[in-house]
Structure 1
Amino acid sequence: MNIRTSDILVCGKSIKECLADIEAFHGFTAPGLVLGTFMVDWARELVGSDVEADAIVETRHCLPDAIQIFTPCSFGNGWMKVLDWGKFALSLYDKKTLEGYRVWLDLEKARQFPNIYNWYMHLVPKKELPLEVLTGTMIEAKREVLSSCAIRVTQFYESPKKGKIEICSGCGEAYPAVQGSQCLTCQGKGYYEKCQVSGVGS
């Protein structure tokens, strides 16, 4: 299939435009993002264009970026929740009624497209399944490897609350009071240690 001349519309854009958006945002045309584009497109259609939707994504890999590229939901604005469940699935739902739709990669359907099945199940080395071939297969498959169902969200929908802020007695920085008498870094639970590097920082 010639991706450059495809007239398929996904998320209101041509495939060419979608691939350009993916590359600009993600750094390269990741297969998971290409598949995720069709997933978001279907979920958007199911939930309705007039619905103010939030999102839940069930993997940290690729799908969160598909949500952030093709919907107003992002991790930063709190409209997207990311669950580290390792399942290639996402949901869009009405933030008022909590009703929406879940879309996922259906492996039984994916068997009809061996390139997609083998890629997802890690059955072939990357060098044996070039990105262009895999992307072409995903565009050919469109929604045929996906399934969906209506849902009502029962948890993970609440917006995070910031709570009380304190000034850390160790470093002097503001931090959430729920962390304890000092910030996590000053408790020895931080992710960094300070270094003396000439000309960097202050």
Structure 2
Amino acid sequence: MGSKIPEEKLKALIAFHGHWCPGLATGIKISEVVLDELGRTTDEEIVAVAETDNCAVDAIQFLTGCTVGKGNMIVKDLGKSAFSFYRRSDGKSLRIVSRPDAARGGGEEYRTLQEKSNEGALTPEESERFEALRRERSARILESEPESLFIIGEPLVPAPPFAPMKRSVLCDACGESVMETKARLCDGRVLCLACFERLVPRP
């Protein structure tokens, strides 16, 4: 594999994610840039904001140390292959956006089979062909220079604050604990978001 990341670590990443695909390869290349420019985080020294929830997010979490559970990977699914990274110690930051031609990628045959796959309509032969094309595309991404895949610039917004640690309150509808900053107050009752959306009619 054409990556700066050790092969054993890449194998562990693929096992963690569950399969090898172009999205994971994209996340590996993004992580290479981040590791070169900002280093690896062990706690919350670096925070990431992902504008998608695709496979690349798993690679970035695994390789950079920015994770959802730790609070320094924030996923805002805007449907864009774009990621911002901030190093808190000195304010250094960068935003990595997939180039339109790279994000589209794969060629006409690939895109046709992708659409059929999304619909669950692939024949066994087409499924085998699509998997081969996915492997080829993943390998090409991994062997590419980051500059050919991404536009690298400054983030559009400031670094997010540290992950909040707020007290929990009880939802008056379901009785479950919810972080107070995620609760809603309606007609004098404290509601979790799930109960609020279930009980309060939308206009």
Same fold (TM over 0.5): yes
What one-letter code is carried by the residue in structure 2 that aligns with 1:57? Answer: A
Task: State whether structure 2 residue 111 is matched by structure 1 residue 123.
Answer: yes
Equivalent residue number for residue 121 of structure 2: none
For residue 63 of structure 2, what is the aligned residue in structure 1?
Answer: 70
TM superposition outliers: structure 1 runs of 4+ over 6 Å: none
What SS class does the counterpart of residue 19 from structure 2 fall into? Answer: coil
Identify if the C-alpha distance between structure 1 residues 31 and 119 changes in structure 2 by more than 3 Å, giving closer, same or farther: farther
**Unaligned stretches of 5+ in structure 2?**
115-125
Partner residue in 2 for 1:182? 190
| 1:10 is the counterpart of 2:4 | yes
Counterpart of 2:82 in structure 1 is: 89
Correspondent of 1:172 among 175, 185, 188:
175
Contact 2:40–2:65 (Cα < 8 Å) also in 1: no
Identity %: 23
**Aligned partners of 1:167, 1:50: CA distance in 2, in Å?**
34
**1:42 Cα deviation from its structure 2 partner:** 1.2
CA contact (8 A) 1:118 1:124 kept: no
Instruction: Give the Å deviation of 1:40.
Output: 1.0
When residues 143 and 179 of structure 1 are mapped into structure 2, their CA distance, relative to the original with a 3 A threshold, is: same
Give CA-to-partner distance per residue, 1:70-118, whole Å, 9 cap, x none: 011101101111121222122222124443122222134x39xxxx713
Higher relative contact order (CA 8 A, sep 6+): 2
Q: 1:43 offset after TM fit, Å? A: 2.1
User: Which structure 1 segments of 5+ residues have no match?
Assistant: 191-202
Matching of residue 157 in structure 1 with residue 148 in structure 2: no
Using the size of structure 2 for normalisation, the TM-score is 0.69
Secondary structure at the counterpart of residue 123 of structure 1: helix
CA–CA separation in structure 2 for the residues paired with 1:154 and 1:107:
22
TM-score, with length taken from structure 1: 0.70
Distance across 2 between alignment mates of 1:165 and 1:171:
14
Cross-structure match for 1:143: 146
Q: Of Structure 1 and Structure 2, which has the larger fraction of its residues in helix?
A: 2
Cα-Cα RMSD? 3.3
Query: In structure 1, what is the Cα distance between the partners aligned to 2:153 and 2:146?
Result: 16
